[in-house]
Structure 1
């Protein structure tokens, strides 16, 4: 009977080990996908920063043009 119990315990341990292996693979996949999302988000943020910089420069240039042409509001 002790052989049966040992075999049963070993079988359960093997099943648990198999489940943990699958879990580890899924976790690694999720980490890789999150890293890719993070990299894409960083790229988007850099693009937005570049656009903001260009808009700031455009605003400065427009302000200078308005002052030269005396188009500023009297308020």
Structure 2
């Protein structure tokens, strides 16, 4: 009976090891995906900052045009 218990414990340990290996693979995949998402988000933020600069320049131009045409209230 002692041998059966030992075999049962070994089976459980092997199953746990297999589960841990699957979890480790899953974590590596998630880390890769998170890294890609961070890079994508950094690109989006850069574009947004550029767009804010363009909008500010356009606002300045519109303000000058309104001032020259005496359209300012």
TM-score normalized with structure 1 length: 0.86
Q: Which consecutive unaligned segments of at least 5 residues does structure 1 have?
A: none
* Residue of structure 2 in register with 1:2 after alignment: 2
The two structures, once aligned, show a CA RMSD in angstroms of 1.1
Structure 1 range deviating more: 17-26 or 30-39 = 30-39
Aligned length: 73
How many Å separate the matches in 2 of 1:12 and 1:19?
10
* Residue of structure 2 in register with 1:59 after alignment: 59
| Moved >6 Å (runs of 4+) | none
Determine helix, strand or coil for the equivalent of 1:70. Answer: coil
What whole-Å deviation, never above 9, does each CA across 1:40-72 have from its counterpart, x for those lacking one?
A: 111111101100111001101111122122221
How many Å separate the matches in 2 of 1:62 and 1:31?
46
TM-score normalized with structure 2 length: 0.89
Q: Which consecutive unaligned segments of at least 5 residues does structure 2 have?
A: none
